[in-house]
Amino acid sequence: MQPWYSPIDRPRRLVFTWQTPPTTDTSRVTIEIAALDEGCEVTITHEMAPEWESFRDKAANAWLKMADAIATLVETR
């Protein structure tokens, strides 16, 4: 399944579905970006079904790693 994006409110908000194969379950990810005097603040919210509660910490750590990698990439440009 391809991600489904809605709504996209550039450059402030992006909402999309998330799926981790081989499962067919989908969840919803919202990324909100707020401009600061220098840089921005990013908030990532990943809404999962209750049966995925045990995966919550692993998902949060994965999103933190991705955000850190993006920050490093942006800072080096």
pLDDT in tens, 57-72: 999 999 999 999 998 9
Q: Which CATH number fits domain 5-75: 1.10.3470, 3.30.70, 1.10.357, 3.30.310?
A: 3.30.310
Question: pLDDT, tens digit, for every residue of 3-36?
Answer: 788 889 999 999 999 888 888 888 999 999 999 9
The domain limits of the chain are: 5-75
Prediction pTM value: 0.84
Dist. CA 27–CA 48, nearest whole Å: 5
Q: Where are the alpha helices (DSSP H) in 1-77?
A: 56-75
